[in-house]
Structure 1
Amino acid sequence: MPTENATATGGAPVTLFALHALGASAGSFDRLAERLDGRVRVEGIDLPGFGSAASMTDSSVAATVAHVVDHLAHRARGRWMLGGHSMGGKIAALVASRVLRGDAPLVGLAGMVLMAPSPPSPEPMSEERRERMLSWVAEGPLSDEDAETFLDQNTAERLDPAAHANAVADLRRTSPDAWRAWLDTGSRLDASAEVGTLDLPVLVLAGTDDDDLGASAQPGLLASVYPRARFVPLDDTGHLIPLERTAEAAAAIARFVDDEVLLGPSVPDDWAALIAGDRVDARVRGILNRRAVPDDRGYAPEVLDVAQLTLLREVADLVVPQDDAAIDVAARVDAQLARGEGDGWRSADLPPDPEAYRAGLDTLAAVWPTDPAEREDVLRAAIEGTTDARGALDAARLKIWLEDVRNDLVRQWLAHPASMARIGYDGFATGGTPIRGFVELRLGRREDWEPAGVGGTVTTGDSA
């Protein structure tokens, strides 16, 4: 029989919390968990009305989202991803949107893995098919015959005996009310406005033999929701990807994690708990969660050209030296420029920031050495106004511009919650209802709610 919560242990650097399809359970991810053991920890979650949660009576979308958020609040630590198969894809989108808005008490979402997902918009399904599936539970749970029909319609080839038996068992124990709730209401729900655009790493796996939610349909359904989505078609595959193509799915997930998820620093657990807690306003939590999303390795600059962004990254390496878990502060500055944001002022001797950046980088490029060992001296000369560079900015204006550049690069590094943890800054934790601040202001003392990394001795009993 399927397990309640499929879990692969082994010290993996990231956890995938997987939400199953209609009529399935957490156990549908057992084989995937085994394949990814040591690389990705997989933990399936039984949704209300299914698997071990079949007795739960409220299987509405709202109740299901709340159920998942509650599970994650108790289980999600460190760096983690949300997974969704079919029905679970829409639920995952709603949960992810709440995390990135800060409306859920969660920190650490680093990506998503979706398998033949139902989109935030109404799921494409013919009314004839919907009515036929509803008829299967008109008089109670699905019969063996109807379960067999469902599997035949959703797989390219018959599953192996063990997988087939588990899938039938999951279908047979599914709550008829939950089955009806999804087909009547959940699949029709248009959650596009609530979900919006989710800017984070996303892997979308879909079979070429899946009619409604297959490889040819998914880009049209999801490209506007997930601008960073990586769409991977699976040949000769139907709808039940975790059971039909376990090895191929595991390989794609492992590559995706290495390429896009395990980038940049993660937020230490005690700081994540602080951000998730009631001292931090939802809006602030959302901002910090979005800043903690891994950078896009394939980021396409919006204000600078590729050569200018490359040079800015090399300047950033000198201004803000980082270890292997680096934040792409240069790309974040380009995105800041594209949004028209800044620190609120600029020198009267410089053009607007986008123009100044392009002019400054082009001027610096004329003297920028290919040998990394020589770059520090060149940058120092430009900072001090003694450079030989000639271009759109003279030496005096290049010096002024580099003051802005250093400020922007450092601000982008400091804005990341992992950087705040590193320097011991927790001044963002002064919200909540009622608003709370600091009581202990003496040097070398910290309050009992502050992470140990802040330093100093603890004062208890009088914290705000």
Structure 2
Amino acid sequence: MAGRSEISDQKPDTLTMFALHFLGGSAREWQPLVDRLAGRVDVIPIDLPGFGDAADLSGYTVDAMAAYVAGRIREHAPGRWILAGHSMGAKVACAISRMSEDGDAGLAGLSHLILVAGSPPGPEPMDDAKRQEMLGWFRGSEAENRADAVRYIKANVGDALPDPLQDGAIADVLRTRHAAWLAWLENGSREDWSARIGRLDTPALILAGETDEGLGADAQTTMMVPHFRTVQMTVLPKAGHLLPLECPDAVADCILDVLASQSHGEPSLDAEYRALIQSPRVNERTRQVLRDRLETVAPHPDVLDAPAMALLRLVVERLVPQQGERQIDLAARMVDAMATASGDGWRFADLPADAEALRRGLQILDHAACSLDRGGFAALSPKQRDTLLGDIANGRSGTTGPETSLSPQQMKRWFEDLCAAATQMYVAHPATQDRLGYSGIANRGDGAGPAGFVHVGLGEREPWEPLSKAKTQP
């Protein structure tokens, strides 16, 4: 178990999003997002050293750029904030997230990372011939340099940009300090931060363009996704590498969706229900069990690695939808029960042991999703996810042959197990019991404590029983 969950019920401060640009870009690339998120997210784009209005600043390593951006963030002293990084900026964003999680002063409150066609923590996958070509750009006449900039921008989009956006992007490339351009291609893109970044707890939204050959879905899945405990990836159709300029509406929608759906911590208890748990009407053994269930759980990479864990969370979201910012991490609790052997020990006889069955089932599920979309289950729409899960529930999806396979009938049983485990974890959590006004925990205290229930007739309730806070759906 990790530390006990003690989450404030105060309304969070206005959400601020700091945004970092791509190689050759500037803060101006985020203006379409500034406009579309206005009133909901306060977007503050930042020019990295050597680019845009910061072209005269030095410090082109990932470490130096991260330190510079961290200083800018501290100047704003945000409450709850998110950090967006595009391409080169995504690698810098990962470094800042690590600083925040390590407790660096002035960086508390980071709630999400938005990584857009991101350069990964490890060396960026780039063809050597392409790297050498780009290193040779911007060394000629003004006309030749402009031709290089036009070639660069046009090669990185799916469909052509509107003229104002294309002209602005080309102008940004041309005002880039040449030393900064060379530094990223020769060194920054090759820096290996994999071990230093490790696996981050900050929830991440990863966006990839369908036609992005260098940093598209495949690169994000293999090189970026494994660095996050909680991650969601979306592939944007017909888009290339310059997503904030190509499809700002879709990017804005993805950001708002993930902020609305992902947890900002698990839910806490209302004072009334907390007092009931502490009251002499609840025996100490029950009280301790409830306290244990309020604790957050540590990841267990020996059971599921980061990509599989992210996939499980997406599946569980469809099985047990939760409302509000704070949501119970049911997937983590299910895996923790397997790792600590604290479950009920029950399983279908024709399924492998729980952990092995979970891994196999998730692999088969994602493989089936890949036949629908190259980005796998994470790239499917909610309706597509539900359809695929429905096929599994009805015994219409599975594989046969390899040892790692599960037949459609086994996948059906696997899905039944998954639904039962997710529901059990949800109902057993004290926050759910608080929401439902469940008073069965107060059946009797220890020793001479108060008796449990006296009024047991239909419609009768004890004066100390909590009321349900759940809203009835129309």
Quickly name the TM-score band, shorter chain normalised. Answer: 0.5 to 0.7
Residue in 2 aligned with 1:128? 129
Alpha-carbon offset, residue 298 of structure 1: 8.6
Alpha-carbon offset, residue 331 of structure 1: 8.2
Residue in 1 aligned with 2:216? 214
Q: Show the 5 A alignment for 1:429-448.
A: none
Alpha-carbon distance change, 143 to 371 in structure 1, aligned in 2, over 3 angstroms: closer
- Counterpart contact for 1:207–1:234, Cα < 8 Å: yes
- Counterpart contact for 1:143–1:172, Cα < 8 Å: yes
Residue in 2 aligned with 1:401? none
TM-score relative to the length of structure 1? 0.59
- Counterpart contact for 2:260–2:324, Cα < 8 Å: no
Query: What is the CA–CA distance in structure 1 between the aligned matches of 2:436 and 2:327, rounded to whole Å?
Result: 22
Alpha-carbon offset, residue 43 of structure 1: 1.0
State percent identity of aligned pairs: 35
Alpha-carbon offset, residue 58 of structure 1: 2.3
- Point out where structure 1 has 5 or more consecutive residues left out of the alignment: 1-10, 267-289, 292-296, 314-322, 341-352, 389-464
Alpha-carbon distance change, 52 to 261 in structure 1, aligned in 2, over 3 angstroms: farther
Letter in 2 for 1:214: G
Deviations 1:293-338 (A, max 9, x none): xxxx99969xxxx9xxx9xx9xxxxxxxxx9765749988878878
- Counterpart contact for 1:89–1:117, Cα < 8 Å: yes
Question: Is 1:375 equivalent to 2:438 in the alignment?
Answer: yes
Deviations 1:201-258 (A, max 9, x none): 2111111111010123311122211232111111111110010011111111111111
Alpha-carbon distance change, 26 to 265 in structure 1, aligned in 2, over 3 angstroms: farther
- Counterpart contact for 1:147–1:172, Cα < 8 Å: yes
Deviations 1:166-195 (A, max 9, x none): 101100000000000000001111110010
Alpha-carbon distance change, 69 to 265 in structure 1, aligned in 2, over 3 angstroms: farther
Residue in 1 aligned with 2:404? none
Q: Show the 5 A alignment for 1:295-310.
A: none
Query: What is the CA–CA distance in structure 2 between the aligned matches of 1:29 and 1:185, rounded to whole Å?
Result: 25
Deviations 1:391-442 (A, max 9, x none): xxxxxxxxxxxxxxxxxxxxxxxxxxxxxxxxxxxxxxxxxxxxxxxxxxxx
Alpha-carbon distance change, 357 to 97 in structure 1, aligned in 2, over 3 angstroms: farther
Alpha-carbon offset, residue 29 of structure 1: 0.1
Query: Which SS does the other structure have where 1:102 is aligned?
Result: coil
Alpha-carbon distance change, 372 to 180 in structure 1, aligned in 2, over 3 angstroms: closer
Deviations 1:334-390 (A, max 9, x none): 7887887xxxxxxxxxxxx937999xx99xx99x999987731x21115548789xx
RMSD: 4.1
Question: Is 1:232 equivalent to 2:234 in the alignment?
Answer: yes
Query: What is the CA–CA distance in structure 2 between the aligned matches of 1:330 and 1:234, rounded to whole Å?
Result: 28
Q: Show the 5 A alignment for 1:64-83.
A: 64-83=65-84
Query: What is the CA–CA distance in structure 2 between the aligned matches of 1:37 and 1:173, rounded to whole Å?
Result: 28
Query: What is the CA–CA distance in structure 1 between the aligned matches of 2:85 and 2:101, rounded to whole Å?
Result: 17
Letter in 1 for 2:441: L
Residue in 2 aligned with 1:43? 44
- Counterpart contact for 2:60–2:188, Cα < 8 Å: no
Residue in 1 aligned with 2:153? 151
Query: What is the CA–CA distance in structure 2 between the aligned matches of 1:327 and 1:179, rounded to whole Å?
Result: 43
Residue in 1 aligned with 2:271? none
- Counterpart contact for 1:154–1:238, Cα < 8 Å: yes
Alpha-carbon distance change, 145 to 40 in structure 1, aligned in 2, over 3 angstroms: same
TM-score relative to the length of structure 2? 0.58
- Counterpart contact for 2:122–2:194, Cα < 8 Å: yes
Query: Which SS does the other structure have where 1:16 is aligned?
Result: strand
Alpha-carbon distance change, 298 to 233 in structure 1, aligned in 2, over 3 angstroms: closer
- Counterpart contact for 2:13–2:80, Cα < 8 Å: no
Query: What is the CA–CA distance in structure 1 between the aligned matches of 2:443 and 2:166, rounded to whole Å?
Result: 70
Query: What is the CA–CA distance in structure 2 between the aligned matches of 1:60 and 1:298, rounded to whole Å?
Result: 30
Alpha-carbon distance change, 374 to 125 in structure 1, aligned in 2, over 3 angstroms: closer
Q: Show the 5 A alignment for 1:324-363.
A: 328=328, 354=342
Residue in 1 aligned with 2:258? 256
4+ runs of 1 displaced by more than 6 Å? Answer: 297-301, 329-340, 355-358, 368-374, 385-388
Alpha-carbon offset, residue 61 of structure 1: 1.8
Query: What is the CA–CA distance in structure 2 between the aligned matches of 1:43 and 1:120, rounded to whole Å?
Result: 23
Query: What is the CA–CA distance in structure 2 between the aligned matches of 1:58 and 1:298, rounded to whole Å?
Result: 35
Query: Which SS does the other structure have where 1:165 is aligned?
Result: helix
Alpha-carbon offset, residue 49 of structure 1: 0.2
Alpha-carbon distance change, 357 to 85 in structure 1, aligned in 2, over 3 angstroms: same
Query: Which SS does the other structure have where 2:232 is aligned?
Result: strand
Residue in 2 aligned with 1:102? 103
Query: What is the CA–CA distance in structure 2 between the aligned matches of 1:331 and 1:209, rounded to whole Å?
Result: 32
Alpha-carbon distance change, 95 to 104 in structure 1, aligned in 2, over 3 angstroms: farther
Letter in 1 for 2:39: G
- Counterpart contact for 2:337–2:343, Cα < 8 Å: no
